[in-house]
Amino acid sequence: MQFYLNLLYTFSIVYLGAISFWIVYRPSNILHYAHGASFVLGGYFLSSLYLGLGLPLFMSLLLSLLAVALIGSSFYSFFYKPLLSYDNNLSLLVCSLGLYIAIVACVAIFYGSGTTHLDETTTVVGIEVLGGYISSVQVISVCIAFFVLLLLKIFMSYSPYGLYFRAVADDSILSYIYGLPREKVIVTAYAFGSGLAGLVGILVGFDSGMRPTMGFSSLLYSVVAMIVGGGYSAGGVLCGAVLVSLLHNLVGFYFDTKWIDTATFFLLVCFLIAKPKGVFGVTLKKVEI
């Protein structure tokens, strides 16, 4: 039973991270590697406000997520958007990697490179479920993951922004011709996706602690889950998160947790070779006029 509880928690973290990256990637079509910094900033902002300044937890949480969302939207507005006129993906890639490295270095300078725990209380045994144990933070993570899954389905299907999001994601140029607010959609997506990534960092910080470099692993799992699932739909991201979570727990159970990143890379390579469009990848037909 403990294996399945661990699998459920791992899925919640991987899914939240993957869907946050998918929200950023789909409308802009930019591999936003600086998204890994959003995982880091969320937890460390909360540490400063909650543990450092002594603000209430709820207020610290809202302020932290708002700060990460603003920083995430500024990535596109101040760095990526000016580079889009050059039509050079290499420039975007280098810029994104540079932003990630710079932010992680600043976090390490101000907070140190060691592990920081957001929960300073004494470790207690989690909630017992059929012989297995799961902590309250892990339960919250699972509930948030399923809430986001349901909310995203409703939001994307029935809200005006959801329709704009899908239109811009399907054809950015055509949506601009039809007068849709493409730039606002992308900036909003960066803000929401970054805030969601910050929430993942906070959950991990409360559960197992956080390090300035943890954004790389979180970004790796998110990108692999999106590519494995297909990257085209939220359902594909869900499937990819299930596969990545299952792989993590099987490797940790039968081998050792130090092999998880290696196994994740191996899964990515296998899909890129055997099924590059992912599980739910869609083959698009090109028609010339």
Calpha distance 9→96 (Å, rounded): 29
Calpha distance 50→43 (Å, rounded): 10
pLDDT of residue 158: 85
pLDDT of residue 287: 37
pTM given for the model: 0.88
Calpha distance 47→60 (Å, rounded): 9
Calpha distance 92→80 (Å, rounded): 6
**Helical segments of the chain, H only:** 2-28, 35-46, 57-74, 81-84, 89-111, 136-158, 160-170, 172-177, 182-207, 214-229, 234-254, 260-274
User: For the chain, which residues score pLDDT lower than 70?
Assistant: 87, 120-126, 278-289
pLDDT of residue 281: 59
pLDDT of residue 7: 87
pLDDT of residue 99: 92
Nearest by Cα to 223 from 7, 34, 73, 9:
34
79 alpha carbon, distance to own chain's centre: 20
Q: What tokens appear for 94 in the block?
A: 């280098």
Q: What is the pLDDT of residues 235-257, one digit of tens each?
A: 888 888 999 999 988 988 888 88
pLDDT of residue 144: 92
pLDDT of residue 226: 87
Question: Bridge-partner residues for 210, per DSSP?
Answer: 116
pLDDT of residue 280: 64
Three-class SS state of 27: helix
pLDDT of residue 124: 54
Inter-residue contact 249 to 3 (CB < 8 Å): yes
